[in-house]
Amino acid sequence: PRSSAGGCRWGCGETVLGLRPCGALDFPDLNQRELQMRPLISAILAVLVFGPGVGAGAERPNFIFILADDLGYGDVGACNPAGKIKTPHLDRLAREGVLFTDAHSGSAVCTPTRYGVVTGRYCWRSPLQKSVLGGLSPRLIEAGRMTVASFLKERGYHTACVGKWHLGMDWVKREGKGVAELAIEAQDQVWNVDFSKPIRNGPNSVGFDYYFGISASLDMVPYTLIENDRVTVVPTKDADFPMTAGEEGKRTRRGPAAEGFDAVDVLPTLRAKAVEYIDARAAEARSGKPFFLYLPLASPHTPIVPSKGWLGRSGLSPYADFVMETDAAVGGVLEALERGGIARDTLVIFTSDNGCSPMANFDELLAGGHNPSHVFRGHKADIYDGGHRVPFLARWPARARAGETSAHPVCLTDLMATCADILGERLPDDAGEDSFSFAGALTGDGKGPVRESIVHHSINGSFAIREGRWKLELCPGSGGWSQPRPGKDDASHLPAVQLYDMQSDVGETRNLESRHPEEVGRLT
């Protein structure tokens, strides 16, 4: 018998093609012949349930989770047909997979969303209650905490992270020196680390067999690449970069940089390293040793630095150029899967860590007819949907429906439970508390939605909850960077909470808190 979680109610451990024949109880009436028939019966059941074209490989797929940085919902053509940025590879993912239209990051900013992706928990359960970490911050993920990577590694997966970490790691600090623990390091702290020493408690300590990337956002120190527990080149000089290519004025934080490091090279380097990893793992994946690749790109976050071949290509702005180059990086991943003969048995998910940043220059984009937030209010950092509603595309040719659109509510914390569900496993009670499987919506197997609500969080720690048509925001303004801005704009005339009917008012323009006090009370 299968429980609502998909596993055997009696907790048996046998697995054949992802199904669980019951071996938990000792039935005296089962003779040896019947016991020998169990695998065959289970195989027949697998064909009946999943179809004759699905083999063992499809039930232990490779998982690739691509996380763009500060990419707006409206920046993907499949999500926003009126958009002006060409994203052919992401549009292809949507055509060949499922486009989720009600997907949300765990927070409206970087670090807390990434904590949720990796652990399946909302970040406000951790010590970080607002804002983000810096590039020198110590580890945020608690010792012993199960992650998606450790869960899959225990089940025979090879695991890798290529890209922006931004979840803290323990650098060796110089004698008598310190760094901010739950905030971006101060300018006078940026050289307080001995970059020549091994790093402790980075990605390798939470289940990743391999790591290559940068410690935090590309506008944060240190400006050097990291492979596993060491920098590839020790920083020896101070450097910074223009926030936007071709524009002087605003620049990234100044601090330690490796000789030869240039922000413009990071996206091409991450793309090449991801493709190299897929090429190296393809043969083992075909023979039954699957892999999990977490690919958190550092683009199109500031510094907005499209490569020379991409600068000016959009005809809109450097930000639009950078989005197009990010799309092309996804195309490189898809090509590698096809070249390796593993595209069919690989679940590729593409999404973003939050909404588009105002550093993208909304005025310039809007003048060109493009809105990165699409029809949603606000942008990165906000409690409004523009801060946390994100593009979410999922393709798995062996099992997922192609060309479908789903309004199933999804949060980026749901990766862990979805992987477990696909493998026919159940998460421990003390792991992934805020993770819910969307596998049923992905495959269309008739399994109904299991996520009933999503908790949202803004950069200043303001909360909101969405349940069905209703969204309650426990603050009078944006909780972020758009007006009304907390601490900057006068909100004394505004109600303390906001309630919106997202079915009739997706732009969050009419606060209904006074008309529906019962909903305010229930959701609070």
Three-class secondary structure of residue 453 per DSSP: coil
For residues 504 and 52, give the distance between their C-alpha atoms in angstroms, rounded to a whole number.
Answer: 43
Q: What is the pLDDT of residue 158?
A: 98
Q: What is the pLDDT of residue 45?
A: 42
Indicate the Cα dihedral angle 381, 382, 384, 386, nearest 10°.
-40
Name 162's bridge partners.
212
Q: Are 414 and 103 in contact (CB under 8 A)?
A: no
Closest to 102 in 3D by CA, of 286, 374, 480: 374
Measure the N-to-C terminal CA separation of the chain; round to a whole number of Å: 38
Q: What is the pLDDT of residue 445?
A: 84
Name the residue with tokens 């225990």.
Answer: 154
Name the residue with tokens 């979805």.
Answer: 418
How many helices and strands in the chain, by DSSP H and E? 12, 20
Name 148's bridge partners.
none
Burial environment of residue 46 by CB neighbours within 10 A (0 to 12, 13 to 18, 19 or more): buried
**pLDDT tens per residue across span 465-508:** 999 999 999 999 999 999 999 999 999 999 999 999 999 999 99
For residues 268 and 278, give the distance between their C-alpha atoms in angstroms, rounded to a whole number.
Answer: 16
For residues 160 and 310, give the distance between their C-alpha atoms in angstroms, rounded to a whole number.
Answer: 28
Report percent pLDDT > 70 for the chain: 88
Q: Are 113 and 167 in contact (CB under 8 A)?
A: no
Residue 432 one-letter amino acid: G
Name the residue with tokens 């801060």.
Answer: 387
DSSP string, 503-514: TT-TT-----TT
pLDDT under 50: residue ranges of the chain: 1-58
Structure tokens at 370: 């493009």
Q: What is the CA radius of gyration of the chain?
A: 23
Q: What is the pLDDT of residue 409?
A: 96
